[in-house]
């Protein structure tokens, strides 16, 4: 047996970034497990994390820099050295800056604890145009949170599932779109007698664990939430003392929800009025240890912002803010009396230009909407965007209507993909830069906020197998080529770590024992009587001054979702516990477990169409069509059909997943700019398809 060592690091098979222990023998990864030191994780890891070894030793991923050698999307590439690829990028960037200014450069990524690197890189180039993926995920949730509490977004709360008594989930399929620690905490709560209520238009694994499951008509959870608020206020089931002390706008809220009775909601959602009343009374009995989850991917419909806002209002009515079993205000280093990490951008001059969507007309609430970035690339208004970095982010596979996207992206002078995978966006790019895998690289240190804030580290376990580089080095080298090396003077990741940790009282070696450093011995709770929120009033604002100032209503009248025409269905999509969006379908193990997706269709509707379980069916929308195997089931609403997202890969180098299954976003024709008008999230599920037997 060779030399064996353990490295504490972070998984990179999805965006959850679970802490892991990696066992390495003579430079080869032999074993990956959940970090046994992390409470709630208990050494466990999901299927995707377990397949990390297979991903590492797979050759069907980018192995060296590649420069396009044909038309965009042609799949014709020239192998390049790093100097050649970076010189090509720098030359294009300099031309863009000369013609349009530094603000014509944009970058988007998946956000998370390491974004100080990408935002500081853009700042060094003189651009304000950083975007993340949240228009396709939780932008509506973030904006709803901001409108009530003044917080930046949903990340300013954590959920004390372990100590709660009742969890209410809205299509938040926790047992399949999968955070291991969160799932363990929820299971612990259920073991202790907590109740779980789940609402969705199909029965998922999470529905199978629920005490109460509402199979709702698609797009009608807002109706149920308005009716719940109606009952809770009418019957005075809310935390009267907390609401009176900590909120503004209660009278206006009561007046607004008065017409939205359970009987009305029954007609909209299909859920019996008495069931809605029973739920309102049950959660009141369990308050304040109640969690209405405000949603994760509430980028679904054009009413999703107000839907999520109603969910947050329900939490406030339960008085569950900053209490065990409820929503805990996430704490940072300063709350623990500790110095935060030093930002890589702290010494870089501030950018004078505003982010491109700050100056747009008819814009949604807030800025940083990637859909608005596309509008600016397309129109040149309010100013031109001509260079775009997509870092570990694949908009062509995640935003609607790939063909419409490609037409927009053709307006760019430079499109660069930095990723560990061949992505749909990468395949359409001018340059692909291969990032080292999460087992081959270290990242900058990140901060994780929560009741016990901590610093976390992803640490390199093995040497890169191919000609790849870690992100910190890629961005440092580009900055150097652009004459901005004074802002990125780092020669090693240790240089960055030492700078970040300077003055914090934490040293690099403090991460050796478990991969993270906790900044608080015990959970931190603020005095509820002294809670101050980041709103103009310092209180939770049912009537939001910031929304009013931006020209939006605090309460939005309900609008019934469209019913599909005869023979058509609303297309919905979601996650599987096996795959990460469109990233993992080519993994040799995960592909074997789930090689393609299927189409869920209601059994009565299928019978009317002559479709049996397992039949091949044709799905079509606005001139696009494809075939897929049918899953005929009673466990989906008759107005909807469903497929798992991420299939239909068109990159021939990914041989196991090439053209397997269907891509839902190809049917979302015309929806690239179909967004929630306030939250800005993409209204994916405003898509209707026709189904017939293949």
pLDDT in tens, 662-687: 999 999 999 999 999 999 999 999 99
Q: Is the pLDDT of residue 299 over 60?
A: no
Residue 531 or residue 428, greater confidence: 428
Residue 417 has pLDDT above 60, yes or no: yes
Contacts of 125 (CB under 8 A, 6+ apart): 93, 102, 105, 479, 482, 484
Min mean pLDDT across 19-28, 51-60, 358-367 is at 358-367
Three-state SS for 469-529 is: ECHHHHHHHHHHHCCCCCCCCCCCHHHHHHHHHCCCCCCHHHHCCCCEEECCCCCCCCCHH
3-state secondary structure of 22: strand
Average pLDDT over residues 109-113: 91
User: Where would I find the H helices in 530-686?
Assistant: 545-549, 588-593, 603-608
Q: DSSP state, 151?
A: -
- Give the pLDDT score at 298: 67
d(CA 528, CA 641): 45
**Which residues lie across from 328 on neighbouring strands?**
158
pLDDT for residue 3: 84
What pLDDT band is residue 203 in, cutting at 50, 70 and 90? very high
Spatial separation of the C-alpha atoms in residues 359 and 367, rounded to whole Å: 9
Question: Exposure of 192 by Cβ count < 10 A (0-12 exposed, 13-18 middle, 19+ buried)?
Answer: exposed
Residue 129 φ/ψ, nearest 5 degrees: -95, 70
Segment 517-558, tens digit of pLDDT: 999 999 999 998 889 999 999 999 999 999 999 999 999 999
Beta-bridge mates of residue 28: 25
Q: Give the whole-angstrom CA distance, residue 137 versus residue 294.
A: 12
Query: Strands across the sheet with 4-10, in order?
Result: 4-10, 19-25, 28-34
CA atoms within 13 A on the CB side of 685: 28
Q: Sorting pLDDT into bands at 50, 70 and 90, what band is 55?
A: very high
| pLDDT tens readout for residues 142-173 | 999 999 999 988 889 999 999 999 999 999 99
Nearest to 178 by CA among 648, 631, 588, 581: 581
Give per-residue pLDDT as tens, 436-468.
999 999 999 999 999 999 999 999 999 999 999
Tell me: pLDDT of 96 over 70.
Answer: yes
Q: Tell me how far the alpha carbon of residue 77 is from its chain's centroid.
A: 31
694, pLDDT greater than 90: no
> C-alpha distances in angstroms, 400 versus 277, 446, 493, 584, 670?
37, 31, 37, 20, 8
> What confidence score (pLDDT) does residue 7 get?
96
The per-residue pLDDT for range 551-604, each reduced to its tens digit, is 999 999 999 999 999 889 999 999 999 999 999 999 999 999 999 999 999 999
The per-residue pLDDT for range 314-370, each reduced to its tens digit, is 999 999 999 999 999 999 999 999 999 999 999 999 999 999 999 898 889 999 999
pLDDT of 493: 98
Q: At 296, is the pLDDT very low, low, confident or very high (cuts 50, 70, 90)? A: confident
Structure-block tokens of residue 383 = 């100013």
In this predicted structure, what is the pLDDT of residue 178?
Answer: 84
- pLDDT at position 1 is 61
* Mean pLDDT calculated for residue range 85-114: 97
Percentage of residues in the chain with pLDDT exceeding 70?
Answer: 100
> HSE of 191 in the Cβ direction (CA atoms, 13 Å)?
7
What local confidence, expressed as pLDDT, does residue 260 receive? Answer: 98
The proportion of the chain whose per-residue pLDDT surpasses 90, expressed as a percent, equals: 94
Taking alpha carbons only, the member of 570, 491, 468 closest to residue 85 is 468
Size of the chain in residues: 694
Mean of the per-residue pLDDT values for the chain? 96
Alpha carbon distance 318, 326 (integer Å): 9
pLDDT on residue 39: 85
Q: How far is CA 387 from CA 4, 111, 356, 380, 425, in A?
A: 45, 19, 13, 12, 14
- 195: Cβ contacts below 8 Å, ≥ 6 apart: 165, 166, 167, 211, 212, 282, 286
């Amino acid at each position: 047996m060779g030399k064996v060592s353990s490295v504490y690091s972070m998984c990179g098979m999805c965006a959850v970034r679970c802490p892991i222990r990696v066992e390495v023998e003579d430079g080869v990864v032999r074993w990956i497990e959940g970090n046994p030191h992390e409470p709630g994780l208990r050494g466990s890891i999901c299927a995707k994390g377990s397949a990390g070894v297979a991903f590492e030793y797979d050759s069907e991923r980018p192995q060296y820099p590649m420069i396009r050698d044909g038309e965009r999307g042609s799949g014709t590439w020239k192998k390049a050295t790093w100097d050649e690829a970076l010189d090509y990028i720098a030359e294009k960037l300099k031309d863009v800056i000369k013609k349009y200014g530094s603000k014509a450069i944009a970058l988007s990524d998946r956000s998370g604890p390491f974004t100080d690197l990408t935002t500081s890189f853009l700042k060094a180039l003189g651009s304000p145009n950083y975007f993340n993926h949240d228009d396709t995920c939780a932008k509506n949730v973030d904006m709803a949170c901001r409108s009530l509490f003044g917080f930046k977004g949903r990340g300013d709360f954590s959920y004390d599932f372990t100590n709660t008594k009742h969890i209410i989930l809205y299509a938040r399929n926790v047992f399949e779109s999968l955070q291991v620690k969160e799932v363990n905490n929820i299971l612990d709560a259920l073991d202790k007698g907590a109740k779980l209520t789940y609402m969705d238009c199909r029965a998922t694994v999470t529905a199978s664990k629920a005490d109460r499951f509402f199979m709702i008509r698609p797009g009608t959870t807002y109706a149920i939430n308005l009716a719940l608020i109606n009952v809770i206020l009418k019957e005075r089931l809310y935390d009267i003392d907390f609401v009176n002390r900590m909120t503004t706008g209660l009278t206006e809220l009561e007046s607004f929800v008065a017409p939205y009775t359970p009987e009305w909601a029954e007609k909209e959602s299909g859920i019996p009025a008495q069931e809605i009343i029973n739920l309102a009374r049950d959660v009141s009995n369990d308050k304040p240890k109640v969690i209405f989850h405000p949603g994760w991917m509430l980028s679904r419909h054009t009413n999703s912002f107000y839907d999520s806002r109603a969910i947050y209002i329900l939490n406030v009515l339960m008085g569950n803010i900053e209490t065990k079993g409820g929503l805990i205000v996430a704490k940072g280093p300063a709350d623990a009396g500790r110095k935060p990490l030093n930002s890589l951008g702290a010494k870089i001059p501030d950018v004078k230009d505003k982010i491109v969507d700050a100056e747009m007309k008819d814009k949604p609430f807030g800025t940083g909407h990637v859909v608005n970035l596309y509008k600016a690339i397309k129109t040149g208004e309010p100013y031109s965007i001509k260079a775009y970095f997509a870092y570990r982010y694949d908009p062509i596979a995640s935003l609607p209507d790939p063909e419409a996207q490609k037409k927009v992206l053709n307006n760019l002078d430079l499109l660069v993909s930095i990723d560990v995978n061949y992505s749909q966006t990468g395949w359409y790019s001018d340059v692909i830069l291969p990032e080292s895998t999460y087992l081959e690289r270290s990242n900058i240190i990140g901060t994780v906020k929560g009741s016990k804030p901590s610093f976390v580290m992803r640490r390199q376990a093995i040497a890169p197998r191919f000609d790849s580089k870690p992100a910190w080095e890629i961005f440092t080298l580009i900055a150097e080529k652009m004459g901005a090396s004074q802002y990125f003077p780092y020669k090693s990741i240790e240089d960055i770590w030492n700078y970040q940790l300077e003055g914090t009282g934490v040293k690099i070696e403090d991460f050796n024992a478990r991969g993270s450093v906790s900044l608080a011995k015990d959970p931190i709770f603020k005095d509820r009587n002294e809670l101050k929120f980041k709103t103009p009033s310092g209180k939770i604002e049912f009537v939001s001054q910031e929304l009013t100032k931006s020209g939006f209503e605090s309460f939005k009248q309900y609008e019934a979702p469209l019913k599909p025409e005869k023979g058509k269905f609303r297309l919905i999509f979601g996650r599987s516990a096996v795959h990460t969006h469109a990233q993992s379908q080519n993994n040799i193990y995960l592909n074997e477990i789930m090689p393609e997706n299927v189409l869920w269709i209601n059994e009565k509707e299928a019978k009317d169409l002559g479709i049996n379980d397992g039949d091949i069916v044709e799905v079509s929308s606005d001139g696009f069509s494809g075939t897929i195997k049918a899953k005929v089931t009673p466990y989906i609403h008759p107005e909807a059909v469903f497929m798992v997202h991420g299939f239909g890969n068109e990159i021939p180098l990914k041989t196991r997943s090439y053209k397997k299954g269907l891509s839902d976003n190809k049917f979302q024709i015309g929806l690239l700019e179909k967004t929630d008008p306030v939250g800005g999230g993409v209204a994916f599920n405003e898509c209707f398809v026709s189904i017939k037997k293949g």
